[in-house]
Structure 1
Amino acid sequence: MTTTHDPVAAAERCTAEFRRNPHPVYAHLRETTPVCPMTPPHGIETYLITRYEDARAALSDPRLSKDMYGAMDAYRRIFGDSSVALDDNMLNSDAPKHTRLRKLVNSEFTPRRVEALRPKIQDIVDRLLDACPTGEPFDLLPAFAFPVPITVICELLGVPPKERSLMQELSTTVAQTGFGEEFKRAQQQAEENLHAYFTELVARKRAEPGDDLLSALAATQDQEGGLTGNELVSTAFLLMFAGHKTTAYLIGNAVYHFLADPAQLRAVQEDPELVGPAVEELVRFDGSVESATFRYATEDMELGGTRIPKGALVQISLLSANRDPLKFEKPDEFDVRRQGTAAHIGFGHGGHYCLGAPLARLEMQLALNGLFGRFPRIALADPQAAPAWMEVPFPAFRGLTELPVVLEPAAS
């Protein structure tokens, strides 16, 4: 068994250069130190997993716990006390609690239920595209990529329209990554505000239920095995947060890569049915979730020939695993006709596989076909400009901070 530290893992992952292009570093780690011990800025011993087979195994290994309450000291040191109340949900729990919580929500995210949302999502896409300017540069992220998923998830949860901008603002603050005291105070305040907001919204839904997911979940409080008050608030936060940022950044990543590769763009414009496989390839090629959420070892264990001690945190790089040449041929090429793309783990694997994956897929398909169908001559505002990738250290997401484009309608 090996325990060799690779300084590249901890040092270079904090640089702006790495944030702009992490793939060479991940390729180096896959080749030399696929299960890499490192000490990130939060100071807690962590093992970074970069190869596909190791990552897939780790995602379903019961010795790697998602219950951050079981690692409370480490959890509080990284995230602070205020996040605890918002994390009492299925994402941060193990069986049997995870099984119970997931079952209560799962019925609302089946492919059939999601497909029933197609007309509503299409209408949201169409209305946002109606408002986009043509013939001049503008930032597609705030105008389209971000509003699509936040509008969809707020409609699903039953968040009133006038309150949705607050959700986007607070969730953006929570999603940011940093280690300074000023940053931590801002994040903790946003977490407290979100908890207060969802507590009040749940109370409204219980008093006056509507035809929405949050009202349905609130009704389970009166059932045996239903959601407790804090579980309900935390689940509402999880669904809003996970259903917003991940898809928003994925839409931005997708549009950028299509515009940077006109041949791939022409392929989906000429055959809109290709958009389904294209979404899977985009999740594999440059997905919006760089690493799975933290796990910790509940016992001494070995993974990929490396000993991981009890109590250590484990970080699984989905971005790296999905570019592993041992699994995908020519993994650094974007190819919407690639065979075997569905094997990607961009939505996770095992019991914690992304509950909202069917919804994300549908949103992506309708957003891309709607954008490229209405504006076949869409182009980057400055094709020579470097893409503006997020540069904060250790982010939860892989995404752009801006995406200037010019829309030209189809020639008459």
Structure 2
Amino acid sequence: MTQAFASEELSSEEAAAEASSCSRAFRANPHPVYAKLRETAPVCPLSPPHGVETYLITRYDDARAALADPRLSKDMYGAIDAYHRIFGDSSIALDDNMLFSDPPKHTRLRRIVGSTFTPKRVESLRERVQKITNDLLDRCPTSEPVNLLPEFGFPLPLHVISELLGIPEDERTQAQEWSATVAQTGFGPEARKALEIAEGNLRDYLVELITRKRTEPDDGLLSALVTARDQDGALTDHELVSTAWVLLFAGHKSTAYQIGNAVYHLLTQPEQKRLAFRDAGATAAAIEEIFRFETSVENGTFRYATEDIRIRDTLIPKGALVQISIAGAHRDPEAFAAPDQLDVTRPNVQATHLAFGYGPHYCVGAPLARLEMQIALTTLFERYPRMSLVGAPEDVRWLTVPFPAFRGLAELPVVLDPA
């Protein structure tokens, strides 16, 4: 694993500066920084590049409590000035959804889509997910290097969520490219312009797609949302577009990075790989441990304090933004024994990890993500038991986006079946 620095080498001030600036060293391996902050400043004021007062929570108990604290609002319209400074005006068109809302609005929007992601409904997708997985792997070269993320990690969840929504196959790649721009843009003028263009394109595309679903409905979720809008009045036009966007974005991005994280760590720790695939039960448990050990959701989406809130010895003032470090919480030694070790036999991880959040905003798509991970990893390692990483593990590049919502690889070069 890439080790840019050790926690004992950092002062508390240096750790806070690294977390604020999202330096390349921090993005390569943020865990030593989170370790220092857990020890010395578990509720840490940051000086992020977007310029909005922000606090970072890194201990498990604090993170779990904060995820369910109604005083920490997800409604970014309530923090409108901060929202504009971070995301720009154009983002509002796509962010009127359950991810950025509080009850009762959040409850209403979640109920509309929730029936699609029940464990029973998701299990009915198993055969189709397996078919998509097989087809993608059939197209990959086996004896020469292949970047597994664009060839497999991203297309798999993208095709699955797109089929659920009813997005035509020949339109999915473009939608994913716009989504990637939204996820990785920075704060400078050029980045802002790229963000504005991508968001405008996504909005226009979704409006046009919704118009098509009105005249040519299918059995996809988007047609069902259109019906809910037109017949039941359960959604506004704005909410309809924004809900379609968040399902597309959240439905593939985090799972894609999680597949990459899992493959990387299993390839670099052969004994853990052996233990993970002893039987189906071991694989299911291993996936939960990988969610803990290297979650693709490094930080929860922004919340803001609706009143002064004291956590430990730190007063978070009303109006400040709060980032909850899922990655930091998952390496807390007070919550997990030997947390910096991947242990696929670790018991009860599913009940304790926070990779899908906690409380009212627990990820509605968690059953689908688990199914995709199980099928992707089992099929990949069964078909290619000799798969190997290209190059040294420490040379693999991690994402260096300026705002660490996601923890994932920038590339995953492997040889599926080396001679």
Shared fold (TM-score greater than 0.5)?
Answer: yes
Q: Percent of aligned positions with the same letter in both sequences? A: 63
CA distance in 1, matches of 2:268, 2:402: 25
CA distance in 2, matches of 1:93, 1:48: 21
Shift of residue 48 of structure 1?
0.4
CA contact (8 A) 1:283 1:346 kept: yes
Measured against aligned partners, the alpha-carbon deviations of 1:28-87 in whole angstroms (never above 9, x if no partner) come to 000000001122111111110000000001000011110000010110110000000100
Measured against aligned partners, the alpha-carbon deviations of 1:103-131 in whole angstroms (never above 9, x if no partner) come to 11101110011000000000000111111
TM-score using structure 1 length = 0.96
Distance 1:299 1:225, change over 3 A: farther
RMSD of aligned C-alpha atoms?
A: 1.4
CA distance in 2, matches of 1:319, 1:89: 25
Shift of residue 225 of structure 1?
5.0
1:10 to 1, 9, 17: 17
Residue 236 (str. 1) matches residue 252 (str. 2) = no
CA contact (8 A) 1:60 1:349 kept: yes
TM-score using structure 2 length = 0.94
Q: Which position in structure 2 is the counterpart of 1:363?
A: 372
CA distance in 2, matches of 1:204, 1:367: 32
CA distance in 1, matches of 2:359, 2:277: 34
Q: Match of 2:363, as an amino acid?
A: C
| Aligned pairs for 1:312-391 within 5 A | 312-342=320-350, 343-383=352-392, 385-391=394-400
Aligned residues: 406
| Aligned pairs for 1:116-135 within 5 A | 116-135=124-143
Distance 1:43 1:385, change over 3 A: closer
CA contact (8 A) 2:18 2:26 kept: no
CA distance in 2, matches of 1:234, 1:336: 37
Measured against aligned partners, the alpha-carbon deviations of 1:340-377 in whole angstroms (never above 9, x if no partner) come to 21200011000000111110000000000000001111
Measured against aligned partners, the alpha-carbon deviations of 1:239-273 in whole angstroms (never above 9, x if no partner) come to 00001110000000000000000011112333243
CA contact (8 A) 1:48 1:317 kept: yes
CA distance in 2, matches of 1:353, 1:406: 36
CA contact (8 A) 1:253 1:400 kept: yes
Residue 173 (str. 1) matches residue 187 (str. 2) = no
Q: Which position in structure 2 is the counterpart of 1:109?
A: 117
Moved more, 298-307 or 157-166: 298-307
Shift of residue 203 of structure 1?
1.0
Shift of residue 224 of structure 1?
4.1
Q: Spell out structure 1 runs of 4+ moving beyond 4 A.
A: none
Shift of residue 15 of structure 1?
1.1
2:78 counterpart SS class: helix
CA contact (8 A) 1:6 1:36 kept: no
Distance 1:146 1:353, change over 3 A: same
CA distance in 2, matches of 1:273, 1:223: 44
Distance 1:210 1:387, change over 3 A: same
Q: Match of 1:166, as an amino acid?
A: Q
